[in-house]
A and B are shown apart, each in its own frame.
Chain A
Amino acid sequence: MCLGIPGKILDCFESQGLRMAKVEFGGIVREACLQCIPEACVGDYVLVHVGFAIARMDEQEASRTYRLLEEMGQLNELKPSDNENGA
């Protein structure tokens, strides 16, 4: 229910006085309301839930988290494999 999908803003426009956008999700384009993300513009990624953008995705933080997880793996490989069974 709280599903939120990150999508890329292709176009911003106004409809009935509400700030709206065309947002692309992996090839599918849908409308989303941008009323609560006024700073978002074309090219930004927003998290969309029930046709409503609730947050702007932070690209730098996304790649930083991923990099840290990758580094965790590299560090693990340097550690002795004392606990390799299972999983």
Chain B
Amino acid sequence: MKYVDEYRSGALARNIVREIRQVQTRPWVIMEVCGGQTHSIVKHGIDELLPEGIELVHGPGCPVCVTSLEMIDKAHAIARRPEVIFTSFGDMLRVPGSEADLLTLKSQGADVRVVYSPLDALKIARANPEKKVVFFAIGFETTAPANATAVWQAKREGVKNFSMLVSHVLVPPAIAAILQAPQNRVQGFLGPGHVCAVRGFGEYEAISSRFRVPIAITGFEPLDILEGTLMVVRQLESGRAKVENQYVRAVRREGNRMAQELMSEVFEICDRKWRGVGAIPKSGYRLRSEFRDHDAGRLFEVEEIDTQEPAACISGQILKGVKKPHDCPAFGTSCTPQHPLGATMVSAEGACAAYYLYGRHLRKEETGHVT
């Protein structure tokens, strides 16, 4: 496929690895922020291709993983109602709440439907005026324009039976939280390419200069990830700290202005609790009050839910780049994608699930820190 296949060339990948080896003089720890990048790294074995001492640690960029248990339980309480058609991206179906997952609710008779796009959920609402159609709006800045458009369009058209349960999260506050944590090991970042296609990278320049940390805005194909790593290593070796754009074919500094305008018309920034990490100030979006008639969080009274995560799970430390899946005794034994204990195992983009999917649980005797 155009813009994809050429960025998977094995010969060019080896060239970049060789270049990294020539530039590197000491060990460095680099975090890829986005779960899509984590998935690509583990799938293609990119971390194992890198020279000794270049360690990739996996960041918190999987919105399915970091959606709080309270929010998932709230979604389930709404989905159980007989008057509701509950719509969601497929990734969310198997994510366990305190009692069940959406797929189990569906088997028990709840009307749960998977949609490819929030605009499909709006179509379902138009076709079922006697039902209340709720869309579970999760995601980072990449997904926010689509979700914003669906609710903006519902308001404009007067589709009164369409609402959203919004649990959006934002990347820059999470990066800042990681860098401020006392146990932080991360020295450079591969920035999230598709988030920046929407938001641009001005916010990342502020982080880079505030924390003196190099950031390469990076794409998702193997050559993208390797080139982004090379850019960060070059900066680290020369003592520079700025934002570079590896993903120039999709990302411009200012991002997508129209998408940004739409997002700020529909959403406002709020504090948000991240599963496995905890509360991060100003790290989420919620609907503005102008869209309250489409806000499922307001329309459906749900009792406060008291939740508890399994004590064995170390996903919080994995999401902050402090630990790797192999450091957890539950990984691949009591915690698997079929029976996940916590955030990083619940979606294929979580570090634990990606390691499991590509067979890395079978080599548990190896150290978690691939060198």
User: B142's closest neighbor in chain A, by CB?
Assistant: A2
C-alpha gap A36/B261 in the complex (Å): 9
Question: How does the 8 Å CB contact mask read for A13-56 relative to B, with 1 for contact and 0 for none?
Answer: 00011100000011000100101111000000101011110110
Question: In the complex, which residues of chain B have a beta carbon less than 8 angstroms from the beta carbon of A11?
Answer: none
Q: Which of B34-59 contact A (CB under 8 A)?
A: 34-36, 49, 51-52
B12/A70 in contact, CB under 8 A = yes
A3/B21 in contact, CB under 8 A = no
Given contacts A51-B117, A72-B16, contact A57 B249 (CB under 8 A): yes
The number of residues on chain A lying at the interface, defined by a beta carbon within 8 Å of a beta carbon of chain B, is: 43
Q: Which of B148-174 contact A (CB under 8 A)?
A: 149, 153, 156-157
The minimal Cβ–Cβ distance linking A84 to chain B, given in whole angstroms, is: 8
C-alpha gap A31/B205 in the complex (Å): 35
A58/B2 in contact, CB under 8 A = no
The minimal Cβ–Cβ distance linking B256 to chain A, given in whole angstroms, is: 6
B34/A65 in contact, CB under 8 A = no
A-B contact count (CB 8 A): 157
**B residues with CB within 8 A of A:** 1-4, 6-7, 11-12, 14-19, 21-22, 34-36, 49, 51-52, 61-64, 89, 91, 116-120, 138-140, 142-143, 145-146, 149, 153, 156-157, 192-195, 197-198, 220, 223, 227, 246, 248-252, 256, 258-259, 262, 347, 349
A-B contact pairs, 9 of them (CB 8 A): A5-B1, A6-B250, A33-B117, A35-B258, A36-B145, A37-B258, A50-B143, A58-B248, A79-B22
**A residues with CB within 8 A of B:** 1-6, 8, 16-18, 25-26, 30, 33, 35-38, 45, 47, 49-52, 54-55, 57-59, 61-62, 64-66, 69-70, 72-73, 76, 79, 83, 86-87
Kindly list 20 other residue pairs between chains A and B, CB separation below 8 angstroms, not including A52-B146, A65-B246.
A1-B36, A1-B62, A2-B139, A2-B195, A5-B1, A6-B1, A17-B157, A50-B89, A54-B198, A55-B197, A58-B248, A58-B249, A59-B249, A66-B6, A66-B7, A69-B12, A69-B227, A70-B12, A76-B18, A76-B19
